[in-house]
Amino acid sequence: MNQKDKVPYVVTSKGHTAVAINAAAKAGEWIRSKLGTVKELNTKYSSQDLVTEVDKGAEQMIRKLILTHFPDHEILGEEGVEPGPEASTQALQGSLDANSDYLWIIDPVDGTTNYVHGFPFFAVSIALAYKGEVIVGVIYDPSRDELFVAEKGKGAYVHGSPTKVSQEMSLGTSLLATGFPPDQNFAFPINMAGLQHIAPQARSIRAGGSAALHMAYVAAGRLSGFWEIGLNSWDLAAGVLLVKESGGEVTDTLGRPYDLGVRHVVASNGHIHNELVESLKQAKATGLSIEKG
Ligand code: IPD
Ligand code: CA
Ligand code: CA
């Protein structure tokens, strides 16, 4: 056998979850070490959609680590996709149609605006889907050194302690979160309409600037619910499994079951889910029409 016919050595002994944890932790540590040193700050879809060399470097690092163990798995990472909702939808479909049952979905830095400003609320988000269903979700917050891990059917944990959604039964006692989407044309005004309608009904609302961490916080019972219009699969996939495995609920903004294509999301402790969805419908702030879906 000459050199070029040699099959590359593949490290197979590590499980999917261990690889996801290792990649998230390594990338997270590197991201934290680069805090305050950003040299290349660029914009993508809008002037509020930021990207830096750290986002790109972290994604490369995660891709390499995953491919070391699973060279034939498919990977969808935010920084490998052209900006904008249409390109995201197409890239997801392309990845789902590709030749592998396993699809890794990566957001190397969720909360880039926070990262650029030194506001310590950003995370690495890594999910693994099998035949379109998320089976592993890992979110790592390097600022607080908090690692959230979920495995389908096996529960969700933060540093080994099971996570559990909160117990609030109505919006009136709920702490909610949402975001300020960078897409000024479509998502932003709709989300603002929802915010204006829901804010007076809730105990209070936060907009921390990381959808992935908001999802992890719903899982951990620190938030009662979260909604946002115009997200991407990489913002949500890992967090969805965390919320579900912690006893919560995740749907689109019309209350239909989550799938990887959902961009307008509601996640909650389950008890307040209908009230939150109904409130968005009343405000005409779902971003969806029942007819069009
Ligand atoms: C953003 C964050 C933010 C949300 C935006 C996302 P990024 O992701 O999750 O909280 O409001 O809609 O785009 O760009 O920091 O990875
Ligand atoms: Ca993101
Ligand atoms: Ca990102």
16-33 per-position pLDDT tens digit: 999 999 999 999 999 999
Residue 11, pLDDT score: 54
Residue 38, pLDDT score: 84
Which residues contact ligand 1 via a Cβ below 6 A? 107, 110-112, 179-182, 209-211, 228, 231, 235
Q: Which residues of the chain have pLDDT under 50?
A: 1, 291-293
Q: Could you tell me the distance, in angstroms and rounded to a whole number, from the CA of residue 195 to the centre of ligand 1?
A: 17
Q: Do domains 3-162 and 171-282 have the same CATH topology?
A: no
Could you tell me the residue ranges of all domains in the chain?
Answer: 3-162, 171-282
CATH class of 3-162: alpha beta
188 Cβ contact list (under 8 Å, min separation 6): 180, 181, 182, 230
Distance CA 224, CA 214 (A): 10
- Which residue's CA is minimally distant from atom 15 of ligand 1? 111
- Which residue's CA is minimally distant from atom 12 of ligand 1? 181
Neighbour-count burial of 47, counting CB atoms closer than 10 A to its CB (0-12 exposed, 13-18 middle, 19+ buried): exposed
Q: Could you tell me the distance, in angstroms and rounded to a whole number, from the CA of residue 200 to the centre of ligand 3?
A: 31
At the topology level, CATH places domain 171-282 in D-Maltodextrin-Binding Protein; domain 2 (3.40.190)
Mean pLDDT in the chain?
94
Compute φ and ψ for 140, nearest 5 degrees: -120, 125
Ligand 1: which of 54, 188, 235 to mutate, most ligand atoms within 8 Å of CB?
A: 235
